[in-house]
């Protein structure tokens, strides 16, 4: 009952927090927390973001949390929380890990759970990054969980406990300039599978949680390190990574709080049947992108060798893995049909949906785009024109603050720009990065290539094709139209 309530509350933060509070009252009264059999959990990287939210949720729901952090002010703040003891712990420093083991052993509660959450991010092209930068990335994100889990193995075996490591959907996906981060998280995925096989004989459950985009300080910390280490884009073939990383809110405040990620950790530690993987994403789009990539790798592995399987055999394997003959159907979210038609350029379907009264301004859940912005992104001019003629809001913004005009300018959709301007689109609107439609086509093309690379990698699987020669050739034309 409670888990059904939690599931239905996802995406509505206020309701979610209320349900979590109810969960705490119903399942774990305060008196139970004082009992001798209270279970202790170590969470690393708890100063902010996912680790802090996990500490809050677990400490409110029957667990005593050893909260790992590095800075004195963070340790003091964590120590002020009920059912929490702060532990100085840098997962890249072995003597701090050893000291944490001694402390937790001396406390006498044992250790039921370990959540390897501490992590960092490094951004940059792989052919230009220093080995030191890549080592910094792997040292925290991959070797950190390895070191900490190894150090606490005896306590976990004694309690027949549980180990969760925070991975990422970047452990399945990858793309331009996030190579080091994705390498670390792909490594975590392999680490979790191997660890699970090895600890199974001791009755220890092992899992990975793969969060999507949530509010955290990871970008702010990355930018601070780049500045501290004297980052320079001089001589780069790709432009400034610092400028790219700083183009949005450094605290990732455009994303949801990581409540669902913390609830996944709670489920893992309390469920009678914990899962191996908990993919937790805030939007359907992030889920689709991740699952499609996993399926794409299956197709690539199966392609063109003497042991390849037929389509029917692959479908049968999938059905066997799912444990059912057919995947269960689910209701299509409102507005999805028109977005699908816009993305595919299906003019006939778009017209039918418009005539049937579909919401012309419905925001798709991944990036908040309207059907008009979607059609513009994928270059489906006739669908875009039909939406404009039907009265779609031409100045509606997506989550990045971009309108259809800014999008059309960015992708150099000449005819759509012309149609939008004729319909009275506001050319003075700025996106969240402070750029107007004119700004995005007058910035140096070389400086924009990295952004096109990232967009192409993200939307290529959905059919987006980028012709760099056409983009560079058409940008001056678009600029003249916008002046």
Contact predicate 177/240, CB 8 Å: no
Instruction: Find out whether 482 and 412 touch, Cβ atoms under 8 Å.
Output: no
Instruction: Identify the domain boundary among 244, 263, 282.
Output: 282
Mean pLDDT, residues 50-72 taken together: 97
Q: In what order do the strands lie in the sheet with 113-116?
A: 84-88, 63-69, 39-43, 113-116, 162-166, 205-211, 277-280
CB 173 within 8 A of CB 167: no
Which sign does the torsion angle of CA 392, 394, 397, 398 carry? positive
Task: Quote the distance between the C-alpha of residue 274 and its chain's center.
Answer: 22
Highest-confidence range of 13-17, 223-227, 320-324, 457-461, by mean pLDDT? 223-227
pLDDT for position 337:
81
57 and 175 share one domain = yes
Q: 282, 315, 347: which is the final residue of a domain?
A: 282
Q: Are residues 252 and 356 in the same domain?
A: no
Distance CA 54, CA 144 (A): 18
- 248 with 340, same domain? no
Tell whether 275 and 367 lie within a shared domain.
no
Q: How much of the chain is in helix, strand and coil states, percent to nearest 5?
A: 55, 10, 40
**Does some domain include residue 263?**
yes
Q: What is the CATH number of the domain that holds 274?
A: 3.40.50.720
- Which tens digits make up the pLDDT trace of 185-199? 999 999 999 999 999
* Predicted confidence (pLDDT) at residue 7 exceeds the cutoff of 90: no
The CATH number given to whatever domain includes residue 478 is 1.25.40.20
Residue 55 in this model has a pLDDT that exceeds 70? yes
Task: Please name the residue that has the structure tokens 């202790």.
Answer: 40
The rounded radius of gyration (Å) of the Cα atoms in the chain is: 25
CB neighbour list of residue 327: distance below 8 Å, 6 or more residues apart: none
403 versus 26: the higher-pLDDT residue is: 403
Residues 277 and 340 in one domain: no
Which tens digits make up the pLDDT trace of 452-466?
A: 887 887 777 778 888
Instruction: Judge whether 322 lies within some domain.
Output: no
Q: What percent of the chain has pLDDT above 90? A: 72
Q: Are residue 133 and residue 25 in the same domain, yes or no?
A: yes
3-state SS assignment for residue 6: helix
Mean pLDDT of all residues in 353-375: 87
Residue 268 shares a structural domain with residue 360: no
pLDDT at 49 over 60: yes
Identify the helix (H) or strand (E) that includes residue 406: helix 404-410
In tens, the pLDDT along 245-296 reads 888 888 888 888 999 999 999 999 999 999 999 999 998 889 999 999 999 9
Residue position matching structure tokens 């705490």 = 24
348's CB contacts (< 8 A; 6+ apart) are none
pLDDT computed for residue 14 by the predictor: 32
- Examine the pLDDT at 328 and tell me if it is beyond 70: no
Chain centre to alpha carbon of residue 440: 26
Alpha-carbon distance of 125 to 238, in angstroms, equals 8
Which residue, of 282, 300, 326, is where some domain finishes? 282
Residue 16 lies in a domain: yes
Contact 431, 400 (CB under 8 A): yes
Mean pLDDT for 304-315 is 93
Kindly state the average pLDDT of the residues 414-436.
93
Higher pLDDT, 451 or 212: 212
Domain count, the chain: 2
Which range of residues forms the domain containing residue 456? 336-482
Once rounded to an integer, what is the mean pLDDT over residues 46-72? 97
Q: Which of 98, 83, 90, 37 is nearest to 68 (CA)?
A: 90
Q: Which residue's entry shows tokens 């180990």?
A: 163
Asked if residue 85 and residue 22 are part of one domain, the reply reads yes
Which residues sit opposite 86 in a β-bridge?
Answer: 67
Any idea what DSSP says for residue 203?
Answer: T
Q: Is residue 313 part of a domain?
A: no
What's the CA gap between 262 and 115, in Å, rounded?
A: 11
Quote the pLDDT of residue 336.
54
Residue at 289 is within a domain:
no
Residue 249 inside a domain? The answer is: yes
Residues with a known catalytic role: 181
Residues 348, 244 within the same domain:
no
Helix (H) or strand (E) holding 87: strand 84-88
Q: What are phi and psi of 95, to 5 degrees?
A: -70, -25
Q: Please state, rounded to an integer, the average pLDDT across all residues of the chain.
A: 88
pLDDT digits (tens, 9 = 90+) for 127-154: 999 999 999 999 999 999 999 999 999 9
Q: Which of 116-120, 147-151, 360-364, 369-373 has the lowest mean pLDDT?
A: 360-364
Average pLDDT over residues 384-410: 93
274 and 342 in one domain? no
Would 250 be classed as within a structural domain? yes
Helix (H) or strand (E) holding 206: strand 205-211
Burial zone of 57 (CB within 10 Å; 0-12 exposed, 13-18 middle, 19+ buried): buried
- Are both 139 and 43 inside the same structural domain? yes
For CA atoms 77, 78, 84, 90, give the dihedral sign. negative
304 within domain boundaries: no
pLDDT class of 36 with cuts at 50, 70, 90: very low
Residues 277 and 341 in one domain: no
């Amino acid at each position: 009952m409670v888990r059904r309530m939690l599931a239905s509350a996802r995406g509505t933060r206020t309701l979610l927090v209320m349900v979590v509070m109810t969960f705490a009252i119903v399942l774990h009264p305060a008196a139970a927390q004082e009992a001798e059999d209270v279970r202790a959990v170590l969470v690393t990287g708890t100063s902010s973001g996912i680790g802090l939210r996990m500490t809050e949720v677990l400490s409110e729901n029957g667990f005593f949390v050893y909260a790992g952090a590095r800075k004195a002010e963070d340790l003091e703040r964590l120590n002020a929380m009920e059912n929490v003891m702060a532990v100085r712990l840098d997962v890249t420093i072995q003597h701090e890990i050893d000291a944490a083991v001694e402390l937790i052993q001396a406390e006498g509660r044992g250790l039921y759970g370990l959540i390897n959450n501490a992590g960092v991010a490094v951004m940059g092209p792989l052919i230009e990054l220093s080995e030191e930068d890549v080592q910094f990335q792997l040292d925290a994100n991959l070797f950190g969980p390895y070191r900490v889990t190894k150090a606490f193995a005896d306590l976990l075996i004694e309690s027949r406990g549980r180990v969760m490591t925070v991975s990422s959907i970047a452990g399945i996906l990858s793309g331009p300039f996030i190579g080091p981060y994705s390498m670390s998280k792909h490594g975590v995925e392999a680490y979790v599978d191997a660890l699970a096989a090895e600890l199974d004989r001791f009755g220890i459950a092992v899992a990975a949680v793969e969060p999507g985009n949530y509010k955290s300080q990871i970008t702010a910390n990355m930018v601070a390190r780049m500045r501290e280490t004297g980052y320079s884009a001089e001589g780069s073939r790709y432009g400034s990574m610092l400028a790219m990383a700083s183009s949005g809110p450094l605290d990732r405040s455009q994303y949801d709080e990581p409540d669902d990620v913390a609830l996944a950790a709670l489920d893992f530690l309390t469920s009678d049947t914990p899962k191996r993987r908990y993919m937790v994403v805030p939007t359907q789009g992030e889920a689709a992108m991740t699952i499609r990539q996993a399926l794409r790798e299956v197709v690539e592995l199966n392609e063109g060798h003497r042991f390849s399987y037929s389509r029917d055999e692959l479908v049968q394997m999938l059905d066997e893995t799912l444990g059912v003959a057919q995947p269960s159907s689910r209701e299509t979210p409102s507005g999805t049909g028109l977005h699908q038609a816009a993305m595919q350029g299906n003019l006939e379907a778009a017209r039918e949906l418009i005539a049937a009264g579909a919401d012309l301004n419905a925001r798709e859940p991944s990036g908040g785009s309207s059907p008009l912005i979607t059609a513009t992104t994928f270059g489906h001019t006739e669908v875009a024109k039909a939406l404009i003629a039907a009265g779609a809001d031409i100045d509606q913004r997506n989550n990045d603050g971009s309108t259809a005009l800014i999008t059309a300018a960015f992708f150099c959709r000449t005819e759509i720009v012309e149609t939008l301007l004729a319909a009275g689109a506001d050319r003075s609107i700025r996106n969240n990065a402070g750029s107007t439609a004119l700004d995005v086509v007058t910035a140096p093309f070389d400086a924009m290539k990295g952004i096109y690379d990232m967009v192409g990698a993200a939307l290529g699987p959905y059919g987006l094709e980028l012709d760099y020669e056409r983009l560079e050739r058409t940008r001056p034309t678009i600029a003249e139209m916008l002046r």
